């Protein structure tokens, strides 16, 4: 240290000495393990505690994921600590630690939890892609063993064999728990009945009639304001999808149709659908900018009385798009009358929009220390009394049983604050069967004394249900779209690519008028298909079908089981 001033030399020596001491101390101290304790401790009853009576088993500890939507009222607490988490811990078979997962950001959160080995024992996740990703990484354990030793869930599986079929993986093991949500009135086609009456038209039942009515709505000023500012149809959002389904070309995986017991990649159905869309566009009946509309403009046009035929979603929900849009429409146009019409029938048949009666909701972490406790918890959740309490609240505090056998809320406002936020705790609730289904019918959800609600409810029961939940108008495809097989990784990359490019070709055909015909588009699509490894995809599906045709949960079976 010769170049450094004397005063500094001592200071440097002191600093270096301190650093040395700190390093030594650090190395010698024990490393506290501060990892989040979420792996279950082994069942305490096996540790031979003779002081506890033999009948009460000390509760084991498990961790369960729960979606966090940011909607827990401040007075109730947080999603991992509220009256329902406490209720579950008090009445359930285990001490549950809830791990909040943001509803719409579950993938990054689950990724980091799994990567660091701190994922919860039981994972509730609705998105099939996310679940399948973790399954492919072998993060889940097979549940066949656990289920065969269970009580409630085993009974549930026997009564609903479809759940078992869907939960089965290619290796012959079950990995997912499921629930029955039953047929849901989700997507439909709504037409302005007052406009039909004004112009002296009938509701369209064929594609030609659809085109004619759409044209009339556009050209003959049905809202009577002297301006030509109305659209007959919309191709954005659901509008285009309805036409695909009319021709049996929507919701089918990669365009694969089952024809005479064989899987083929269809083109004629798509061509016919494209033809109708192009005619609708060329006749000026749809908004020319539909490609940039994610659905907001079509909705606004509809509720402002500028759109004659609208593809509506979430029909049955009173809080969601269905009723709210109807309410807004009526507010803006007091004379508006709507009608739910079945999708027009084409040469390929009569169809409706798809729905899935069974949802796979949960999986078990492969590293869970106490699978039996997890299974006991699922059994607890599957029990009717648990589902009833979670859905309606505590008996005599939130509801009393009515004469019709359905729970009646004592104070709806209190239930709204204290019960409604617990939806994610009851992801296992079988809302499609039994008491929950019976008591959630529109008649029970909508208030018959409110004229607007009664009107909407009647429309649902008299028009929407027979049109969309009808075995004679099934949904497209040999099974529900969510139950289609997942392509292997390389093929699914090609599939995504092809879906995008074919959709671009079709959209180009719709908007390009005379310069790009439907036939050209179909030829270009076929070329893109064969150049983009479409043949490999078709071969994979044919092969898969040959191996799995009796394991598929077919459309016919679904309707037979759940649409009575």
Judged by CB under 8 A, the chain residues 496 through 535 that form the site for other proteins are: none
Judged by CB under 8 A, the residue of 105, 158, 262, 447 near other proteins is 105
Task: Restricting to residues 210-239, name those near other proteins by CB under 8 A.
Answer: 237-238
Tokens of 445: 């959800």
Question: Applying CB under 8 A, which of residues 152, 268, 395, 420 lies at the interface with other proteins?
Answer: 420
10 binds other proteins (CB under 8 A): no
Taking the complex as a whole, the smallest distance from the CB of residue 176 to other proteins amounts, in Å, to 14
Residue 294 binds to other proteins (criterion: CB under 8 A): yes
Bridge partners of 475, per DSSP, are: 352
Least CB distance to other proteins at residue 126 (A): 4
Applying CB under 8 A, among 14, 20, 23, 115 the residue interacting with other proteins is 115
- Rule CB under 8 A: is residue 411 a binding residue for other proteins? no
Instruction: Report the residue from 41, 89, 203, 328 that binds other proteins according to the rule CB under 8 A.
Output: 328
Kindly tell me which of 309 and 509 has the beta carbon lying closer to other proteins. 309
Q: Which is nearer to other proteins, 146 or 360 (CB)?
A: 360
Q: What is the Rg, in whole angstroms, of the alpha carbon atoms belonging to the chain?
A: 29
Tokens of 101: 């997962």
> Pick from 421, 430, 438: which is nearest to 384 by CA?
430
State how far the Cα of 157 lies from the Cα of 358, in Å rounded to an integer. 12
Please name the residue that has the structure tokens 């490019």: 501
For residue 227 the two structure tokens come to: 């301006």
Report the residue number, 126 or 264, with the smaller CB distance to other proteins. 126
Q: Where in 13-52 is the site for other proteins (CB under 8 A)?
A: 32-36
Q: Tell me if 172 sits within 8 A of 201, measured CB to CB.
A: no
Torsion angle of the four alpha carbons 510, 511, 516, 520, in this order, in degrees rounded to the nearest 10: -20
Minimum distance, C-beta of residue 12 to other proteins, in the bound complex (Å)? 7
Between residue 164 and residue 203, which ones bind other proteins under the rule CB under 8 A? 181, 184, 186-187
Structure tokens at 95: 């001490």
* Contact status: 78 vs other proteins (CB under 8 A): yes
What minimum distance in Å lies between the beta carbon of 429 and other proteins? 9
Among candidate residues 308, 298, 240, the one with its CA nearest the CA of residue 274: 240
Answer positive or negative: Cα dihedral of 390, 383, 365, 165: negative
In the complex, the smallest distance separating the C-beta of residue 55 from other proteins, rounded to whole angstroms, is 35
CA distance 161 to 558: 11
Q: Binding to other proteins by residue 402, rule CB under 8 A? A: no
Q: How far is the CB of 100 from other proteins (least distance, A)?
A: 5
Contacts of 319 (CB under 8 A, 6+ apart): none
| Residues 422-461, interacting with other proteins (CB under 8 A) | 423-424, 426-427, 431
User: From the CB of 550, what's the least distance to other proteins, in Å?
Assistant: 25
Which residue lies nearer to other proteins by CB, 209 or 443?
443
DSSP codes joined into one string, 512-541: SGGGS-HHHHHHHHHHHHHHTTHHHHHHHH
Selected from 60, 266, 359, 460, the binder of other proteins by CB under 8 A is 359
CB-wise, 80 or 268, nearer to other proteins?
Answer: 80
DSSP 418-470: HTGGGGGGGTT--TTSHHHHHTTSHHHHS-TTSHHHHHHHHHIIIIIHHHHS-
Number of chain positions touching other proteins (CB under 8 A): 79
């Amino acid at each position: 240290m010769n170049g450094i001033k004397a005063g500094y030399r001592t200071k440097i020596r002191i600093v270096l000495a301190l650093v040395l001491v700190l390093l030594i101390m650090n190395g010698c101290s024990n490393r506290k393990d501060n990892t989040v304790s979420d792996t279950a401790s082994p069942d305490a009853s096996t540790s031979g505690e003779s002081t506890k009576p033999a009948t009460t088993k000390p509760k084991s500890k498990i961790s369960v994921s729960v979606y966090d939507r940011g909607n827990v009222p401040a007075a109730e607490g947080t999603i991992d600590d509220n009256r329902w988490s406490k209720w579950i811990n008090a009445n359930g078979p285990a001490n549950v630690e809830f791990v909040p997962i943001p509803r719409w950001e579950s993938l990054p959160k689950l990724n980091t939890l799994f990567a660091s080995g701190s994922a919860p024992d039981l994972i509730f996740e609705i998105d099939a892609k996310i679940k399948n990703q973790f399954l492919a990484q072998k993060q889940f354990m097979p549940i066949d063993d656990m289920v065969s030793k269970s009580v409630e869930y085993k009974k549930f599986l026997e009564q609903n064999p479809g759940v078992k079929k869907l939960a089965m993986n290619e290796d012959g093991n079950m990995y997912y728990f499921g629930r029955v949500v039953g047929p849901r009135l989700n997507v439909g086609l709504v037409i302005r009945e007052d406009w039909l009456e004004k112009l002296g038209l009938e509701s369209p039942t064929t594609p030609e009639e659809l085109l004619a009515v759409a044209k009339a709505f556009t050209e003959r000023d049905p809202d009577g304001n002297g301006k030509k500012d109305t659209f007959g149809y919309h191709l954005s959002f659901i509008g285009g999808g309805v036409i695909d389904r009319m021709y049996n070309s929507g919701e089918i995986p990669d365009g694969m149709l089952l024809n005479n017991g064989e899987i083929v990649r269809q083109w004629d159905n798509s061509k016919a659908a494209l033809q109708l869309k192009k005619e609708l566009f060329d006749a000026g009946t749809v908004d020319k900018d539909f490609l940039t509309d994610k659905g907001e403009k079509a909705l606004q046009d509809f509720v402002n009385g500028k759109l004659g035929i609208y593809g509506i979603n979430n029909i049955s929900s009173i809080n969601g798009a269905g009723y709210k849009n109807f309410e807004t429409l009526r507010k803006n146009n007091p004379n508006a009358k709507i009608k739910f019409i079945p999708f027009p029938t084409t040469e390929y048949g009569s169809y409706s929009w798809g729905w899935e009666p069974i949802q796979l909701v949960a999986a078990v972490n492969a590293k869970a220390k106490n699978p039996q406790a997890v299974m006991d918890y699922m059994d607890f959740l599957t029990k009717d009394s648990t589902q009833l309490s979670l859905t309606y609240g505590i008996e005599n505090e939130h509801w009393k049983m009515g004469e019709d056998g359905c729970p009646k809320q004592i104070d709806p406002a209190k239930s709204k604050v204290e019960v409604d936020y617990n939806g994610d705790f009851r992801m296992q609730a079988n809302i499609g069967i039994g008491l929950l289904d019976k008591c959630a019918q529109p008649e029970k959800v909508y208030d018959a004394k409110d004229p607007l609600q009664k009107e909407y409810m009647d429309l649902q029961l008299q028009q929407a249900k027979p049109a969309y939940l009808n075995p004679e108008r099934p949904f497209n495809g040999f099974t529900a779209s969510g139950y289609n097989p997942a392509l292997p990784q390389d093929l699914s990359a090609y599939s995504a690519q092809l879906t995008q490019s074919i959709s671009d070709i079709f959209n180009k055909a719709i908007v390009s008028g005379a310069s790009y015909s439907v036939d050209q588009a179909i030829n270009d699509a076929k070329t893109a298909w064969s150049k983009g490894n479409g043949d490999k995809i078709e071969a994979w599906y044919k092969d898969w079908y040959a191996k799995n045709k009796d394991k598929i949960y077919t459309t016919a079976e679904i309707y037979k089981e759940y649409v009575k």
